[in-house]
Amino acid sequence: MSGQGRFISFEGIDGAGKSTHVEALADRLRSAGHNVVLTREPGGTPLAEKIRALALHEPMDALTEALLMFAARRDHLQQVIEPALARGDTVLCDRFTDATFAYQGGGRGFDWSTLSELERMVQRIPAKIEGGSDSIRQPDLTLWFDLDPDIAAQRLSGARLPDRFESQPVAFFEAVRAGYARRLAESPDRFVRIDAAQQREQVWQAVEQSARGRGWL
Ligand code: TYD
């Protein structure tokens, strides 16, 4: 970690129900005295929001899709996330790089090691002192709202017009879920897996507990 701030990301398949909890945790952290920056990916800057509109609605191949996600992320990191962390703020991000591994890697079947290469390039933090080593920006905590894709599909049915991801079949979300599980296995200390099939109140308890457990509440 280079800044003194904290960086929390929220992940899960479409329909897992993370968004209300992102806002609730932002409120809870604010009342505990944190300066909170609430943001999302793809998006979070004027340029990245334009990229989001393209990535969610225009047909494209898997490499183009992955590159757009990382291009949006690069701008978001430079314009918003890194400055906020340097100020000591708490950044809450609705999806971050794990979503690219889960959706483009797991869901679309795009090469995992290429994604890792792009991740290193895009999230690199140059060493502060000469001769020091560079590091890679990652969230300090990632809350994975894990839900059976069949249940998520039921929750999503009847919702607004689906985008290019929401309109995918259940098998796609099984693969996305497997992508998240693989990311958790690669960085178990960073992740908290939350059973999103529970009642909303129980899910919230788990969210709050994860922040309290790190001494942030
Ligand atoms: P989402 O975060 O679910 O927003 P909303 O609740 O407004 O629909 O939508 C973003 C979509 O983009 C979601 O389906 C996952 C997808 N996505 C990727 O495929 N790769 C990524 O790297 C990111 C950040 C998102």
Angle at 11 between CA 80 and CA 141, to 5 degrees: 65
Q: Alpha-carbon distance 107 to 109, whole Å?
A: 6
| Segment 160-207, tens digit of pLDDT | 789 999 999 999 999 999 999 999 999 999 999 999 999 999 999 999
Q: Is domain 6-213 classified as CATH 3.40.50.970? A: no
Give the distance (Å) from ligand 1 centre to CA of residue 81.
Answer: 18
Query: pTM of the predicted model, to two decimals?
Result: 0.97
Residue nearest ligand 1's atom 14 by CA? 165
Per-residue DSSP letter, 164: T
At residue 1, the pLDDT reads 42
At residue 3, the pLDDT reads 58
Sequence-ordered strand ranges (E) for the chain? 6-12, 36-40, 90-94, 124-125, 135-136, 141-146, 191-195
| 165, 168, 173, 180: residue to mutate for ligand 1 pocket, most atoms within 8 A of CB | 165
Residue nearest ligand 1's atom 7 by CA? 19
| Residue 68 in contact with ligand 1 by CB distance below 6 A | no
| Residue 41 in contact with ligand 1 by CB distance below 6 A | yes
| Segment 146-168, tens digit of pLDDT | 999 999 999 998 777 899 999 99
CA 169 to chain centre: 21
At residue 160, the pLDDT reads 77
Kindly tell me if the per-residue pLDDT of 141 is higher than 90.
yes
Give the distance (Å) from ligand 1 centre to CA of residue 103.
Answer: 8
The token duo for 141 is 């905590």
Nearest ligand 1 atom to the CA of 69 is 22
Q: Taking each helix axis as running N to C, give the angle between helix 200-213 and helix 19-31, from 0 to 180 degrees, rounded to the nearest 10.
A: 50
Domain extents for the chain?
6-213
Kindly tell me if the per-residue pLDDT of 2 is higher than 60.
no
Q: Alpha-carbon distance 68 to 41, whole Å?
A: 11
Q: Alpha-carbon distance 28 to 43, whole Å?
A: 23
| 9, 11, 13, 14: residue to mutate for ligand 1 pocket, most atoms within 8 A of CB | 14
At residue 161, the pLDDT reads 87
